[in-house]
Chains A and B, each alone.
Chain A
Amino acid sequence: MTWTTPTTSRRTLLTGGLALGAAAALPGCAYIRDDVPVAAPLPKSAKAKIDGDLVYFNWADYLDPKVLKGFQREYGVSIIESNFDSMEGMYANIAAGNQYDVVFPIAKWVVKMRREGKLRVIDHGQLKNADQVFYSGSYFNDPWYDPRSRVSVPFTVYKTGIGWRTDKVSGMTGSWEDLWNPQGARHIFTLDDQDEALGMAALRLGYDVNTAKASHLTEMKKLLVSQKRLLRAYSSDDVNNMNGGGAWIHHMWSGDFMYLRQGLVNKPQNYDFEAPREGTPINSDAYAIPTNAQHPGTAMLFIDYLLRPENAIRNINYLYYPFPVRDAVATFTELAKEVPACDIDVKDLENPDVFRLLSTKEVQARTAAWTEVKAS
C-alpha cells in the first residue's frame, strides 16, 4: 500500500472544477442560511495543551478502548464519551449547539461543516506526529474534501465492494453484476444506505455515483427493483448478516469485511472480497474539532496521540480498518495480504467515485428514488 500521490492529478482538476461550480452557484442562492460566507476565515487552531477533560463524540466502539485508556492515563484527563448512529445525527447535535471536543465526520460532512465554519483549523505544526499523515507526497496533504487538510486529520479509509462466501457461490466476475448472481438467490444483501445503493446502481450503469438526474434515477430505480427477486434484504449490518449465515453475497464495506474474515469467522478461507471493476466508492473518516469545543487543546493532543504509529497499529488490530498513518500502513497490508482487494492504494484515493456533498434538491430527488425502490 502506498499513500504518495503524483504531482498533477485528476483530483486537482476536479477540485478546480468544483470551485468554479460553487462560484457560479453562489449568486443564485435565495435561501435563508445559504449566505454562510464560503470564503470566511476559518476559526483559529488551538494550541496542543491540556485544557480540560475530553468530550468525545464518535460511532460506538470505533476505537480500541485500550488506546482511549492510555490517553487518559498519560495526560491525567477523563474522556467523556457519547455516540452517534448516523452522520445526520452527529450533525444535528452539533448544529443544535452541543459542545464536543473531537468528532469523526465522514468526508462529505467535513466539506459541509468546514463551509459552515463549524470546524476549527488544526495547525499541523502543533502535532508532533503530523508527518505520519502529512509527509511529502501524501494524498492527505490536500484531500478532495478538505483542501490542504486545514480542518481535519485523516482517521480511516475504506471502500465499498462485494463480500461473498466461496463455499456457497462461484462464478463471481468482478463486476457489480455479481449482486445479481443467481447462485446467491435469496442470500444477497444490498447496503441499506441511500448513497451506497444508488451509487452501486449508478456505477453499474456507467454514471457518476452522485447523479441526481431524473433519467439516470429512473434507470437506477429499475435496475435496483430488478434485483429484488434475488435479494434477501437491504441491510447495513453486513458483518452480522454474513456471520449469521443468511448472506452469501453482500454489498459491503472493506473494513467490515476484514473484521468479519480476520477477526470473527472460523474458516476465513470461505470468505472473499472484490472491488468491482466499474468503480468502487471510496470514503474517508476524519478527526475534527468543532468550533465551539470547550477543550480544543486536549482534542489536539488526543489527535496527536492517535497518530502515534503504535496507537494506530493498536486501532488497526482492533477495528480492521486501514489507518493512513505512515508507520502503521505495513500492519494493515500484512493483515489484508490474503484479500488484497481490501487494501487501499493511492489509485483508490485518487478515484473520482466519492460521495460528494449535494444540494438539498439533489438529495431529495435521490431519496424519492430510493424510497420507491424500498417500498416496491
Chain B
Amino acid sequence: MAAEAPHAPPGVQRRRSSQHTRMWGYLLALPTVWMVTFFISSMVIVVLLSFGTTTRDGFPVFGTNSGNFSALWDEVYLRLFVRSLLYALATVALSVLIAYPVAYAIALHGGRYKNALIAAIVVPFFASYLIRMYAWKALLSDDGLLNSGLRKAGLGDGISFLNTPWAVIGGLVYGFVVFMILPVYASLERMDTSLIEAGNDLYHSPLRTFFTVTLPATRAGLYGGMLLVFLPALGDFVSAQLLGGSSTFMIGNLIQQQFVEGQNWPLGSAMTVAMMAALTVLMVVYLRATSTKAREL
C-alpha cells in the first residue's frame, strides 16, 4: 500500500489500514456465524446427546447418563475400531503410492497441460461418491466388465473382487486419493526445481536425488495429504456397505447402525464423541511429530 501512495500522509494510511481490518472483520463475520450455527452447534448437540437416553418410543432425549460411554468398553467395538484403523492405514499407504507419481508427473512434466490434467483428476469427484461406488460394483462384479475381460483373454475363470476387504480398501482409495494428489501436487509445484538439477549436477542418482531432495521438500504436502485421506477413510461406511463382504463391517457402519436401525442416537453420539477424542489425540501426536520433522529441514 505504501508503494501505491508514496506521498500520502501517515494519517490516511492508518485510516486505510483500519478500514481494511474492519472490512476483513465484516467479511469474516458471515462465515463465522455460519460455522457457529451449523457446524459447532451440531457438534454440541452430538456431545450433549452422548449423555442422553432413548425413550420407550425411540425418541432421543438429553440427559446426564454416562452409560453410553461405559457401554463402549466392549470387545466387539474395539475389534471394529482396530479393523477400521487398519483399513484406513492401508488406504493412506496405497494413496501415497498412487498419488505421488501422478502429482509428480503433472507438476514437473505436465507443461502447459498441467491445469487440464489436474482438472481431469478433480472433475470425476464432482459426481456423488455413492454413484461412483455403484459404478465400481458394476465393474468388479463376478460377471462384470473386468471379469468378462479376463475370461475373454483366457485368464482363468474370473476373480471374486467384490465383497472382500480389498474391495473396501480399493473403494476408500478411489474415494479419497484426490485429497492426497492435490496437496502433494501443490508442494511439488511450489518446489524450486533447480534443487533437483543441483542434485543431478552433484552426481546423485535420480533415485537418490528423489529421496534426499524432492521428497523432503514436499514433506508438508505429503503429511497433509495423509491426514486428509486418513480421517474420512476411518469414518467411512459407504465403501464397506456397498463393496464389503461378510466380515468388513467398519466403525462408520456401526455408528450409522445406531442412528438408523438401532434407534440409539445417544449411543451413536457417544461413539462419535469417543472417536473424535481418539482422533484428536492421534492428530496432535502426529502433527507434533511431523512439524518437528518439517522444522528439522
Residues of A within 8 A of B (CB): 29, 31-34, 36, 86, 88-89, 112, 116, 186, 192-195, 228, 231-235, 237, 240, 244-246, 359-361, 363-364, 367, 370-372, 374-376
Contacts and interface: CB of A to CB of B under 8 A. Distances in A.
Given A231-B246, A363-B262, A371-B254, A246 B162 contact: yes
Contact of B241 (A89, A192, A359, A361): A192
B261 A88 contact: yes
Contacts of B185: none
A36 B57 contact: yes
Interface residues of B, number: 39
B138 A244 contact: yes
Contacts of B138: 240, 244
Given A186-B160, A244-B162, A367-B257, A233 B244 contact: yes
Contacts of A192: 241
A244 B142 contact: yes
Residue in A195, A240, A244, A372 with the greatest tally of chain B CB atoms within 10 Å: A244
A245 B141 contact: yes
A38 to B, nearest CB: 11
Nearest to B241: A192
Contact of B142 (A86, A88, A245): A245
A29 B56 contact: yes
Nearest to B161: A246
Interface string B55-88: 1111101000000000000001101100000000
Contacts of A231: 245-246
B59 A33 contact: yes
B contact face: mostly helix, strand, loop, or mixed: loop
14 contacts: A32-B55, A88-B261, A112-B58, A195-B261, A231-B246, A237-B242, A244-B162, A246-B163, A360-B264, A363-B261, A363-B263, A367-B261, A374-B253, A375-B80
Residue in A244, A246, A364, A375 with the greatest tally of chain B CB atoms within 10 Å: A375
Interface of B: 54-59, 61, 76-77, 79-80, 134, 137-138, 141-144, 147, 160, 162-163, 241-242, 244-247, 249, 253-254, 257-264
Residue in A116, A228, A361, A374 with the greatest tally of chain B CB atoms within 10 Å: A374
Contact of B55 (A33, A194, A235): A33
Given A244-B162, A364-B262, A374-B249, A32 B141 contact: no
Closest 6 pairs between A and B when the two form their complex, measured CB to CB: A244-B141, A245-B143, A245-B142, A367-B262, A31-B55, A233-B163
A235 B247 CA distance: 12
A31 B263 contact: no
A364 B56 CA distance: 11
Contacts of A375: 76-77, 79-80, 249, 254
A371 B163 CA distance: 18
B264 A33 contact: no
A256 to B, nearest CB: 16
Nearest to A87: B260
A360 B53 CA distance: 10
Given A244-B137, A244-B142, A246-B160, A33 B57 contact: yes
A234 B246 contact: yes
B246 to A, nearest CB: 4
A223 B55 CA distance: 31
A234 B242 CA distance: 10
Contacts of B77: 375
A246 B247 contact: no
Contacts of B144: 244-245
A63 to B, nearest CB: 21
Contacts of B59: 32-33
Contacts of A195: 261
Given A31-B57, A360-B56, A246 B141 contact: yes
Nearest to B263: A363
Contacts of A86: 260
A231 B246 CA distance: 6
A364 B263 contact: yes
Contact of A372 (B76, B244, B253, B262): B76
Nearest to B158: A245
Contacts of A32: 55, 59, 61
